[in-house]
Amino acid sequence: MSSEMAHAATEVAHEAAHTSGDYIKHHLQNLTYGQLPDGTWGIAHSAAEAKAMGFWALNLDTFFMSLLLGAIFLFVFRHVAKTIVSGTPGSLQNFCEWAIEFIDTSVRGSFSSKNNMVAPLALTIFFWVFMMNLMDLIPIDWVPLMMSALGVPFFKVVPSTDPNATFGMAIGVFLLVLYYSVKMKGFGGFMGELTLQPFGKWGMPVNFLLEGVNLIAKPISLALRLFGNMYAGEMIFILIALMGGAWAGFSLGGVTLFGSQILLSLGWAIFHILIVTLQAFIFMTLTVVYLDMAHQEHH
Amino acid sequence: MNINATLLAQLIMFALFVWFCMKFVWTPIVAALDERKKQIADGLADAERAKQDLELASRRSAEILREAKEKAGEIIGNSEKRASEIVEESKTQAKIEGDRIIAGAKAEIDQEVFRAKEQLRTQVSAIALAGAGKILGREIDAKAHNDLLDKLVAEI
């Protein structure tokens, strides 16, 4: 274990991390800004400190990465929207048009009512989530090492591995579902939907329990699916990276581990391209489906 | 891994992104796409119309060509007829003119003959008188024998 420790120590040089456990913990810790135990405001330097900050703390890495990625997405699309011509498109415009037609087609496929907000919502979700997920393909140690060289103790570069980001979006979607349910069916209609089925009015408490769980399950499953997939993917990258940590000197075992790390990282990264895209698409599609359900009357 | 105010920040950020995307990205791009769709549809309709126009024009030009040919044929026929008419006419005219010339010449000849006859008759009568005078040995009084002479002239 001493060789592992030595490697892990070099990778997280600015932290007092000396075991593979510490290495993993370091990679899973957000850069949290909040009130420190001594009463001043600042950045937490350990997981315990971050936890002690309570609710009123901000994960700076999640916040800035998601802001940056969303801004890049909107900047590119806004640039195209400003310079768009209805004649022959350039390659960037062509890409954006392709993306928009792709989103438009899938929204039309699963959303039957008329709402001008749903398609742009789907576009935003797909590209934002896709870009956040895509950060997972950056080699796992690059950003934390770079950041620690700049004196930043932690940096999780994939915002969708932070439940705050996924729940933030899922709650946004949930609020829209509630809003359109009430708007389309009226408050009474929505309540009726929650309490009068599937067992008729005599089974009201049971109905409410079932439908309530059904309703609450939507945002929770939406958030946890994305978070779980990305978190697990990240975890596997970390574990693969740890294999190389066992490499020390040219022993047979060490070289094998080092080679395995390269091959496994490559394989997992290629497979992860699929997951990254798929999860973004699933998040988008489910959002559209939930909103479609909110727009439809159930009888 | 802690749930904290980042959740709210992400929620607000999400809402702002969606709003921006809807207002400044989706609407103009979709408008441009619709416009292109319309342009293409218009272009296709124009092409279809042009094709119809072309067909119409070619049909019309064929008709005009046919008419022109017909007219040209007619004109050629007319002119041939007229030409033969003119030839006929001039032939007739020439014949008439010839006949007239011939008749004139004949009349002149007749006149000439008549005149010559007259002259001849007068001369003959004179010769006869002279002969008779010689025979009778004396001069015949022209006045006294005028009746005789006239009778003679008439007989010749």
Q: With respect to residue A138, please indicate whether it lies within any of the assigned structural domains.
A: yes
| Dist CA A162 CA A56 (whole Å) | 16
Q: With respect to residue A66, please indicate whether it lies within any of the assigned structural domains.
A: yes
B15: tokens are 């809402």
**Is A108's pLDDT higher than 60?**
yes
B29: tokens are 């791009």
Active site residue A221: yes
Q: With respect to residue A20, please indicate whether it lies within any of the assigned structural domains.
A: no
**Is A46's pLDDT higher than 60?**
yes
A262: tokens are 């390269």
Q: Name B130's Cβ contacts closer than 8 Å, sequence gap at least 6.
A: none
**Is A4's pLDDT higher than 60?**
no
- How far out from the chain centre does Cα A165 lie? 6
B10 chain-A contacts, CB cut-off 8 A: 62-63, 66, 164-165, 167-169
Q: With respect to residue A168, please indicate whether it lies within any of the assigned structural domains.
A: yes
Comparison of pLDDT for A297 and A44, the residue scoring more? A44
Q: With respect to residue A69, please indicate whether it lies within any of the assigned structural domains.
A: yes
SS3 (DSSP) at A34: strand
| Chain B closest-CA separation from residue A128 CA (Å) | 9
**Which of B6, B15, B24 lies closest to A81 in CB terms?**
B24
pLDDT score of A52: 85
Q: CA geometry: angle at A60 spanning A58 and A66, to 5°? A: 110
- B2–A123 CB contact, under 8 Å: no
A80 chain-B contacts, CB cut-off 8 A: 29
Q: Residues of chain B whose pLDDT is less than 70?
A: 1, 137-145, 156
What confidence tens digit (pLDDT) does each residue in B34-58 have? 999 999 999 999 999 999 999 999 9
Active site residue A229: yes
pLDDT score of A250: 65
Q: With respect to residue A225, please indicate whether it lies within any of the assigned structural domains.
A: yes
What confidence tens digit (pLDDT) does each residue in A276-293 have? 999 999 999 999 999 999
pLDDT score of A16: 39
pLDDT score of B139: 62
pLDDT score of B140: 61
How is residue B24 annotated by DSSP?
I
Interface membership of B40 toward A (CB under 8 Å):
no
Domain count of the fold of chain A: 1
pLDDT score of A8: 45
Interface membership of B75 toward A (CB under 8 Å):
no
Q: How many CB atoms lie within 10 A of CB A260?
A: 15
Query: pTM for this structure?
Result: 0.74
What's the half-sphere exposure (Cβ side, CA atoms, 13 Å) at B58?
5
Q: Name A282's Cβ contacts closer than 8 Å, sequence gap at least 6.
A: A225, A226
What confidence tens digit (pLDDT) does each residue in A245-276 have? 666 556 777 778 888 888 998 999 999 999 99
Chain A residue closest in CA terms to B33: A86
Domain membership of residue A186 as a residue range: 61-295
A251: tokens are 């022993």
- A168–B20 CB contact, under 8 Å: no
pLDDT score of A175: 95
What confidence tens digit (pLDDT) does each residue in A178-194 have? 999 999 888 988 888 88
